[in-house]
Structures are given as C-alpha cells and as structure tokens.
A and B are shown apart, each in its own frame.
Chain A
Amino acid sequence: MKGYTKYFLNKLGWFAITFVFAFILNFTLPRLMPGDPVAAIVARQAQGISNPTGVQAIYQQYTELFGTDKPIIEQFFIYVRNVFRGDFGFSFSQYPRTVAEVISASIGWTLILQFPAIIVGWILGNVLGAMAAYLRGGFDKVLMPSALFLSSFPAFGMAVILLVIFAVHLKWFPTSGGYGYTLIPSLTPTFLWSAFVHYQLPFWSIVLIAIGGQAIGMRSMSIYELNADYVKFARFMGIKDDKIVAYVFRNAMLPQVTGLALALGTMVGGALIAEIVFSYPGLGTTLLNGVMGQDYPLISAATLIITFMVLTANFILEILYGVIDPRIKAAQSD
C-alpha cells in the first residue's frame, strides 16, 4: 500500500496546487485587463439601468463585499475569505438573488447531465474503437470516418441537429428546458418523468460528441498494442488469442483513462454550450445569462465552480488510474 499512498499524496498535492493557481487566475485575469474591467463593469452596471436605487445598492454592496476600492492584494484576500464562506455577493442581473443562490440552482443540473453523458460516451467510444481495431475491415472502414466526422462536429452543432430532428420535426422530445415549464421541481412522478424526457436530447448530444474522439483514440491505442512485441511473444509461447486480446485491450484502455482526464476540460466546455442550445437550466445557460446581463460576479463564480468541478473530476480519475494500473504502485514503491 505504501506505493499507492505516495502516489495518492502526490496527486492530492498536485490537485491543491492547480486549484490555487486556477483560483488566482480566476481572480486576476479580469483585473489584469487594461482599465480594470471589473471596476468598469460595476460602474457601467451602476449607471444605465432604470432602477437607479436598486443598482446603486448592488454597487455599494459589491464594493464593500469585495473591497474594490482597496489595493489589489487586499482585494484578493477579501475575495478568498468570501469564497470560503460561499459568499459571492448579489447577482447583477438577477437581483435580489445572490450569486450563490443562482449557482446552486443550476449546478445540480449540470452535474447530473454532463458527467454521466461523458462517461457513457467514453465507454461507448472505447468499445467501438477497440472493435474497429480488432475487427478491421468493413466495420473499421465505416466507423473511422464517422467517428472522425462526429468528433469534428462542434458540441453545439450536434445539439442543434438532434434538437431539430427529434424535437422540432418528430416532436418526440421537448425543445428546451430541464422540465416542463408548468411544473415546480419536486420528487413527484410527473416531474421526474418530465425531467427525464427533457434530459434525453442534451444527454445524447454530449454522448455522441464524446464517442467520436474516444473511439479514434482507442483505435490507435489498440492497434499500437496489437502490434506490440509482447503480443508476438505471447502468441509464440502458445497463449490463446482470446487471452492476448484481453491483454491488449486492457493495456490500450489504461491510457484512455488518463486521456479522459486530459480531455475533460474541453469536453465540459463543449457540453456547457450544448446546454445553451437546449436552454438546459445548468451552468452553461447560467453563464450565458451572466454574459448577457454583464453580470461579473456571476460569471466569476460560475467559472470558478466549473474549474473546481473539472479539477476534482480529474483528480478522481487520476486516483482511479492509480488503482487500476498495477504499474503505478510498483513504480512508486522504490
């Protein structure tokens, strides 16, 4: 176990470092832009809008909460303290809701939608890629170009196509939202069914996008492994083909786990945009609303949460990888 503990601590340390770094970026990037855009946005927000007293109130509250009139280092520590309290201030565009309220209402939708979809896409992609590598011939000839085409498709494109075909034309599924707009979220069968129906199109558009890239990756990995020297040696030692195939696909799959960890950021990005196409009530749509409403606190918090989610998922995958790849334990122990 010692080898694994070392690996685990190593990854945990790395997770902490990346998070701190991402946190700092999240704070400084907007403030590094010429002319302090945060201040500019807050000021713009404080003018233009019809209800001056309300906006004035947000502005004051925001200035106080984040200390925008103080030096930047001090602002940073105020920000850290606030974030750890879960206090992101009021949302500019959805006043009087707080940013924390807005985000917590949408984060669940995103989690439930994206992670299952990405995992299902990963599994299907790997199975198809492995089959293409092993079966070759016709299957490979059809699968490869389709996978390539699928993976060239932007996530929102797939979303739009599915939406037009299955929601607009065939009317099998609703066009937008996370549940029927007449319903209130609850655990009733009606609501759950409605949520389930609304779930399908966003889910499958993310799955389809994920499949393409994963299938291509798995195919190359499997072909590489099939040609590896150990395959030849095992064959000439009289080991049966099915056993060798098991070796090969296990070995090809392992890098795909790390591959998923690395591709996660991009995939989540695409999936957030697919959410927008379906007006799915998750973080993607929240981000869009934030952009539309020039809602700086909301965008800042949403991006921070997304980064945190991706980094956490990444960390979990790395940990999992350490468990399933025997070499990790072995390599760390000496």
Chain B
Amino acid sequence: MQHTLRQVFRSGKFIVGFSILMTILLIVIIYPWVVRHPPLQIIGQGTFFPPGIYVNVYDAIHAPTLYTLNLEDAAANRIGNKLRQEDRVAMKEWLVAFGVPEDEIDIDDTEKLLALWEANYNPDLRLPGMTFARHRYFQRVNASIDGLLSTEPAIIAAPNSETGALEQKALIRQTDYANVDEVANVRILALGTDNFGRDVLTQLVAATAVSLVIGLVAGLIATTIGLTLGLLAGYIGGLVDDVLMFFTNLFTVIPTFVLLILISFSIGQDKRGAITIAMVIGFTSWVWTARAVRSQVLSLRNRDHVNLSKLSGHSVPRIILVDILPYIASYVVMAFILQVSSGILAEAGLSILGLGPRTTETPTLGLMMNWAMIYQAHILGKWWAYLPVLVTIALVSFSMNLMNTGLDQVFNPALRD
C-alpha cells in the first residue's frame, strides 16, 4: 500500500494533475474566508463591468486628506486617456474633409489641434460620404475632449438645505490625490461583473465548489452502483451475470445524456437542486465502472488465492472484501476520478441546455457558462464572463485526467515507454 502510494507520487503526470487539483481546492476553501461577499449578490447596475479596481468617487473626494502631488506626466496622461492617437488621426481626417489645409494640421501638437477643432467642428454637420456611425463617433470625441485643456479646478457643490441654492463645498485641483487606502469604499472586481451585475470571481469560486461537489456526489453514486453490479456480475456469474450484463449493455448504447435530459426536464425547474442533478448524473453513468470492475473480477475469480479462500470456506462477502477488492482498488479509484470529472462536464452540458440546477441559489460552472452564453458575452467580447469559467472547467477535468493517466502508467507498466 505504502509502496504503491510512493510509486504513484513518483509519476510526473500524477503529481502535476494532483497539484493543479489541490491548488484549485485550496483556493475554493480559502477564498471564502478572505472575501466574505455573498457570491450571488447583485452589486452592479448594468451588465459586464470590466475587471479592475473600483474606487468610490464620492468617498475619494471626501477622503480625510487630499494630497498634492506634482507629477510631470499627469496632464499628458489625462489627455491621453481621453484623446487617443487614433482619435487624433480621425480628427485630422475630419478637418481635412472639412477643408482645412492638410499641412496646417499637426496631430502631435495637442493645443493647436484642439484650437483648430474648436474653431471648425460643427456637431450638426454631417460631411458628405460619412456614415452615420462615423458621424456619431465624431460627436462622441467632441464631447469627451470638451474642456480637456482646462487647468481650472473642479467645484464640488451641494444644495443648501434651506434655500436650495448650490453652495461651493470644495475645490478639486488637478494635482489633488487621494490615497486608495484612505478611501472608504474600494472594491476589487478582479474578473469584473456578469450580466446580472454580480462579482464574477466570487461567483466563480463558489461555483467551482458546487461543481466539485456535484462531481463528487455523482462520482460516488456511479462508482458505488458500478462497483456493486460489477462485483456481483463478475463474482457470482451465471444468471446474475447475464441479467446484469444485459442491462449494462443496454445502458451502454443508449446515450446517457438523452436520459439526463429527459429526467432533468421531467423533474422540473423548481425541484432541480445541485444535489438532485448530481444524483441524476450518478444514476445514469455507472455503466463504465460496472463493465471495468466485472472484467477485472472475472480475471481474478480463478486466481490461486481466491480459490484457496473458497476452499477454506470463507463467506462470499469476505472473499470479495479481502481477496478481490484490494486487487481492483486501483481500477476503482481510476474509474472514480473519471466519473467525478465527467460528472462536472455533464452538469455543465445540462446547464447550457437550460436543464441545470435552478438558478437562484447556487452558482455552478455550467450555470455561469449558460448565463454568459444567453447574454452573448462571447460575442460581445466580455471575456471575463466566460473564459475563466472555461479555464476552470478545463483545468479541473485536465488535472483529473492527468492523475488518471499517471495512475494508469503506474498500474499498467506497458504504457510507460
């Protein structure tokens, strides 16, 4: 036993797979201790906020201290943020089309460019040959560069509670800085928000945990059923074997996911919890384990040590437990790992079909994928809503497959070289 374990942990593939899986598990366990936000809370008003650090503007303005920093490139950054190189080129294009001589325009001289623009641009004028979208684009550029070169401070005003007149409360200069640590509300959305305005990362961690549990439950059920049937069919043989194998063969060819669809659909949206789905998956995916266990048991049944045990009058359960199970343990473990990972994939597939667990309480990897697809995150370029989910699914499944391949090579040495 110890020797086997040592051998297993010397297999490179197994170690890599195991480490990936353990890392994911650790994150899933530790993250909720560190970040205590409810995973399904809707925080964003709007869809798909990009990943980043969100600083509360109100609090930033009212930070206890505002610091003055004289940074050389501050003005340039400010302009660059609103007026990108392609905007400058576009402005030149507009001006030339409008009739300004090309050699008068220097797009690198911001001041001059803006002055020219100021003097000539007319937002209501749609130049001939320009598409409407392009026209709108120039209007947007025009709005965003309004007051770009101003060095005036911004005024914070609040209405007087009695007269209702605006009163100046504070001046915010261009050299004013707030220290993020002193801003009362800062929220890191490392993976932005989803279509409902929920924190993707927090949700992803919770979903991974649920999906792992689904896989585990499905795998346990499938392995238990498969192991029991395989042992019975293989050891008892005869009629029991014939009947069991008949059903196993039936369920091998009838596509499992069709059964999954029918059952999940019939259960109905309201009754479909994560565990229900896991059970349904488990009850429809035992065939492979049953087949594998049976063929192993068949080859073991007539080995000397089993015969000896039979001759000594040991009971069937004892023979199975002592003389058979230990020899097929490695196969069962491998089958279990496979079942877990395919259970996770099955849940994802079902959810994409709209047949996953009901959506309100628990996130799962499949449901996150489902939402992202329905809201077209992939087409809109909102990668943070689907890519991390895909990567997680692939990593979980990959790590388990790697572990399995590693085990396979330890137990079937022929595959090694």
Contact = CB atoms under 8 A, between A and B. Distances in A.
Say whether A and B bind each other: yes
Interface of A: 14, 17-18, 21-22, 25-26, 29-33, 37-38, 40-41, 136, 148-149, 151-157, 160-161, 163-164, 168, 175, 216, 220, 223-224, 227, 261-262, 264-266, 268-270, 272-273, 276-277, 287-288, 291-292, 296, 299-300, 303, 306-307, 310-311, 314
B402 A148 contact: yes
B366 to A, nearest CB: 9
Contacts of A38: 266
21 contacts: A18-B254, A29-B259, A38-B266, A153-B394, A157-B390, A160-B378, A164-B378, A164-B383, A269-B256, A277-B352, A277-B373, A277-B378, A288-B354, A291-B353, A291-B355, A299-B262, A300-B262, A303-B262, A306-B255, A307-B254, A311-B254
Q: Name the 5 nearest CB pairs between A and B, nearest first.
A: A265-B255, A269-B257, A152-B397, A152-B398, A30-B266
A252 to B, nearest CB: 13
Interface core residue of A17, A18, A151, A270 (most chain B CB under 10 Å): A18
Given A30-B266, A149-B398, A273-B352, A168 B379 contact: yes
B interface residue count range (under 10 / 10 to 19 / 20 to 34 / 35 or more) = 35 or more
B415 interface: yes
B369 interface: yes
Contacts of A291: 261, 265, 353-355
A157 B252 CA distance: 25
Main secondary structure of the interface of B (DSSP, over half): helix
A258 to B, nearest CB: 11
Interface in B61-91: none
Nearest to A27: B262
B234 interface: no
Contacts of A156: 348-349, 352, 369
Contacts of B400: 152
B55 to A, nearest CB: 30
Given A37-B267, A40-B268, A154 B341 contact: no
A157 B398 contact: no
A314 B256 CA distance: 14
Nearest to A157: B390
B369 to A, nearest CB: 7
A276 B415 contact: no
A287 B369 CA distance: 18
A296 B265 CA distance: 9
B355 to A, nearest CB: 6
B268 A154 contact: no
Contacts of A154: 345, 348-349, 390, 393-394, 397
A29 B393 contact: no
A157 B369 CA distance: 9
Given A30-B266, A148-B405, 16 more contacts: A18-B250, A18-B254, A21-B254, A29-B262, A31-B266, A37-B267, A38-B266, A149-B394, A152-B398, A265-B254, A266-B256, A273-B349, A276-B352, A276-B353, A288-B353, A310-B253
B10 to A, nearest CB: 18
Given A148-B398, A277-B373, A163 B378 contact: yes
